[in-house]
Amino acid sequence: MRKLFYLLILCMILVTGCAQAQGSASSDSADEFFAGIKKTGGMELEHAKEFEVSYYGDDISLIDINDTGRYLLLNEGTVVPEGVPEDVTVIKKPLRHTYVAASSVMDLYRELGVLNNVEMTSTKYEDWSIEEVREALDAEDMFYVGKYGTPDFEFVLDCGCDLAIESTMIYHKPQTKEKLESLGIPVMVEHSSYEEDPLGRLEWIKLYGLLNDKLPEAEAFFEGEEKKLSKIRTYDGEKKKTAFFALTPQGAVNVKKEDDYVVKMIELANGEYVPKGDTQTIQMESFLAGAGDADILIYNATIYDEPEDLRTLISMNAGLKDLKAVRDGNVWCTKDDVFQRTTAVCDMTAELGEVISGNAQDDMRYFYRLK
């Protein structure tokens, strides 16, 4: 019976989708469409560069996410304007049955107090470090629906999914995005990890505040964090060379590009990031050459399992033992929840400052020394 219902709904969606496609505007008439819904303002963004929001009156917003798409957000009860351009995805509020496949977004929902609007996730219970998410999964207020590339489409549809938020990983599984869209589910691909400024990444909370009618709360939180970062002590003296890396199962090294927000955090904490480059994966020989005289090594445990201790790390590649930071015992590791704790960027930067200055304590929240 459930499958019959699913097939009937799918047929209705496909028929409706065809009708909407016929009435959609071509790219040639896009300017005419936006001229017809006069722009009245835009979201004030101080650091974020990867998205912008334009307001058209009180009930319509146009979200433009760099390299991913445009989204027409309608307040509850607002009629879809005629002639919406073909490349614009319509999203209708209220959003009470959201599917979040971009795990870094969940902490923003938690901070805004709207986790109850998230009904589905593509991250398993045991892979969550956010306690509130685990509690929601335990209470079956939120459900794991399968990996991002192979979600249970029937379950997602049965939940009445009104928005799917994906990371750019979805482009590795384009058929999944197309399937969700064919079911009438708007898919938003978020781009916050591409921000060069850590405050730019954090400022995405304003976008999720807009989606969930919590924009004032989002703006207040961001303003407070911005002030917090400005008060982080400035360390005098020479900058210390700092490497941030992870070892891949294939024996290569995952590093950060020079324009990555983590590099900016290190610089804010009085570090000089090494090795410099514009690629994310390099060979071990290149890493050893670029980070050989680094004062500090920080192992990124958010990608692969964290090593138990310094000896375990060296056993992963014997070449590491010759690095200056290893000889000096100045090797650190992130805790595995760093990537999911999107709202903690300022606190993490403060801890980085302690690590780089040599004043770090044993009970830090996000980093610890490998002994």
Q: In what order do the strands lie in the sheet with 187-189?
A: 143-144, 118-121, 98-100, 163-166, 187-189
d(CA 61, CA 47): 20
Per the model's pLDDT, the better-predicted residue between 253 and 238 turns out to be 253
pLDDT by residue (tens digit) across 313-341? 999 999 999 999 999 999 999 987 888 99
pTM for this prediction: 0.87
What is the pLDDT averaged over residues 202-228? 97
HEC letters along 69-107: EEEEEECCCCCCCCCCECCEEEEECCCCCEEECCHHHHH
Q: What is the pLDDT of residue 29?
A: 66
Asked if pLDDT for residue 14 goes beyond 50, the answer is: no
What residues pair up with 136 in beta bridges, in sequence order?
none
What is the model's pLDDT at position 338? Answer: 87
Output b/e per residue, 245-273; b: 16+ Cβ within 10 A. Answer: bbbeeeebbbbbeeebbbbbbbbbbbbbb
User: How confident is the model at residue 232, as a pLDDT?
Assistant: 76
At 4 the pLDDT is 44
- In this prediction, residues 208-229 reach a mean pLDDT of 96
For residue 275, say if its preceding peptide bond is cis, omega within 30 degrees of 0. Answer: yes
pLDDT given for residue 156 in this prediction? 98
What percent of the chain stands above pLDDT 70?
91
The yes-or-no verdict on residue 27 having pLDDT over 70 is: no
Is 15 a residue whose pLDDT tops 60? no
pLDDT band, very low/low/confident/very high, at 10 (cuts 50, 70, 90): very low
Measuring CA to CA, how many Å separate 277 from each of 33, 64, 68, 304?
43, 29, 25, 22
Distance CA 249, CA 165 (A): 29
Query: With 80 as the cut, is the pLDDT of residue 5 above it?
Result: no
Whether the predicted pLDDT of 140 surpasses 60 = yes
Residue 17 has pLDDT above 90, yes or no: no
Question: From CA 195, how far away is CA 207, in angstroms rounded?
Answer: 14
Question: Using 50, 70 and 90 to split pLDDT, how confident is the model at 213?
Answer: very high
CB 203 within 8 A of CB 46: yes
CATH superfamily of domain region 234-369: Nitrogenase molybdenum iron protein domain (3.40.50.1980)
